Chains A and B, each alone.
Chain A
């Protein structure tokens, strides 16, 4: 009796082992299928950029290029060499850097300071101030485009990189404040209180106590702001044109403006060039990128 029970139990265990194995195979199969779906456009972009137009017409999206032909990359980056109508990405790529670096710096700094005050120098109604700032994360920018265009005009910085730096700094503040506020709130207030009793002032406490432990949140914030500003199109296309345009605007113009024959290989090379800085950051610091994404959304 005992033996029989043991045997049937064994049998049952084996059976569940097989179902489990089947399930796991199915799981991996499905996950890989999804992975292929997400990889597919990137693969197509890369191989297309390495083909000649002749190859593109003959093969399909998936065909492997006959050789690594970087010609379209050179055209996308540096142009064809003739004068008028020759658009290429190089100057706009640097425009974007000139815009991103100061905008990220200022918005991160202001956010850090504001987050510090909101958590460690609390005052009556600070919750409302936070809410007041937080709502700025969500406004549709269409509601501020018209007055912003006029303001930049009045300040004499429309169609300039300085103008875009101002815009991105201002509309980054709600996010940077949110990040720092949520980070500093978990730092024990006792630390700050003790330092105050020891006579440390407002800035000393910030630079000696909070800043040294802020590295993770600074990384999260910088990556978030860098990605947002680098990828922005609405502000870039509304407040700048011609020579001051950032890269996403230039990419869009390039793709739309090809006059005679559509050169998909150059389009794809351009798209990759415009996407590469944020992709590199993502691959190198994906953990922080994800933390920014999710902590921007799920708080606490």
Chain B
């Protein structure tokens, strides 16, 4: 008995982690998957009902708006975060004085919660006393900036706040990537007469492909899950113009008590994340095994 215990001790120690994740992650996802095929309303029902919830989901205008918003947000969020992040990383890589201070400033928003960020930007962007008033007081009398309360434009305010929060993160990733490149490569290119622009554009950035990939995965992941920022900034409004899937899911589940439908929307989100993450994990693991 004692021998057995000793031999299996490592596995016993690991059991809590595996058990908890098995139950609370995989078990729960499977439960949600099952419920998405039932006609559950307030309480879960267990008789199968087929794909009715999915049909309902994709026929719902609100869900379609949510998906549309997600696509707009993800595209813009990705582009701006990556462009700003790369620019900052390359600029900071030029033996800048006070690099540490600047880096700290660029990255501090990552330490804040999305609720804090949303609260701050909501105040800054509010049309009566925020940026609009600032410009009017400066003499631009016809300046209007009412995106926060404008159905067409409100989604872009979420992009503004999201980029502000996450661009520094991309910078940190690229800076780490650039610093890991050996100096000889850059020196050799310079001896061959390449200027700094060519060095970055033709040599260093192409070498950063894994970093691009990582940033892409992390940012898409953040945007699919984005929930807090919308709650704090617009609550999905005006109207339902800034709804996103995560918000749709919680509202359907906890305010409208449509458990089956919200499970279906959660499964759609899960599949979207899995489509991005599984190839990523696969390639990471292969890279590790190759070494």
In the complex, which of the residues A35, A127, A147, A173 contacts B32, with contact meaning CB atoms closer than 8 Å? A147
Do A294 and B176 touch (CB < 8 A)? yes
Partner of B259, one of A123, A138, A146: A146
The CA-CA distance from A267 to B31 in the complex, in Å, is: 40
Q: Which of B10, B92, B102 contacts A202 (CB 8 A)?
A: B10
Q: Report the separation of the CA atoms of residues A100 and B61 in the bound assembly, to the nearest whole angstrom.
A: 39
What's the Cα separation between A145 and B44 when bound, in Å? Answer: 13
A191 within 8 A of B: no
Q: Are the C-beta atoms of A238 and B250 separated by less than 8 Å?
A: yes
CB<8 Å pairs between A and B, sample of 6: A42-B108, A42-B120, A136-B25, A202-B6, A268-B119, A275-B113
A140 interface neighbour in B18, B224, B287, Cβ under 8 Å: B224
Q: Is the interface of B mostly helix, strand, loop or mixed?
A: helix
Q: Is A135 an interface residue (CB 8 A)?
A: yes
Question: Of A6-14, A85-93, A214-222, A280-288, which binds chain B?
Answer: A280-288
- B129 A56 Cβ-Cβ under 8 A: yes
**B270→A30 contact, CB < 8 A:** no
Q: Are A264's CB and B228's CB within 8 A?
A: no
Inter-chain contact B225/A202, CB cutoff 8 Å = no
Is A233 an interface position by the 8 A CB rule?
yes
Tell me the A residues contacting B by CB distance below 8 Å: 24, 27-28, 30-31, 34-35, 37-42, 44-45, 48, 56-57, 59-62, 110-111, 113-114, 116-118, 121, 123, 127, 129, 131-136, 138-148, 150, 170-171, 173-174, 177, 201-202, 227, 230-234, 237-238, 248, 251-252, 255-256, 264, 267-268, 270-272, 274-275, 278-279, 281-283, 286, 289-290, 293-294, 297-300
- Interface residues of chain A: helix, strand, loop or mixed (majority): helix
Q: Which residues of chain A are near B64, meaning CB under 8 Å? A: none
Q: Are the C-beta atoms of B91 and A27 separated by less than 8 Å?
A: yes
- The answer to whether A143 and B267 have CB atoms under 8 Å apart is yes
Complex Cα distance, B250 from A173, in Å, reads 24
Query: Which one of A147, A281, A299 has the highest number of Cβ atoms from chain B below 10 Å of its Cβ?
Result: A147
Chain A residues contacting B246 (CB-CB under 8 Å) are 140, 142, 234
CB pair A39–B105 under 8 Å, yes or no, is: yes
Q: In the complex, are the beta carbons of B250 and A274 less than 8 A apart?
A: no
Per CB-CB distance, the 8 closest pairs between chain A and chain B, nearest first, are A231-B113, A121-B10, A282-B111, A144-B28, A60-B134, A233-B228, A142-B266, A114-B17
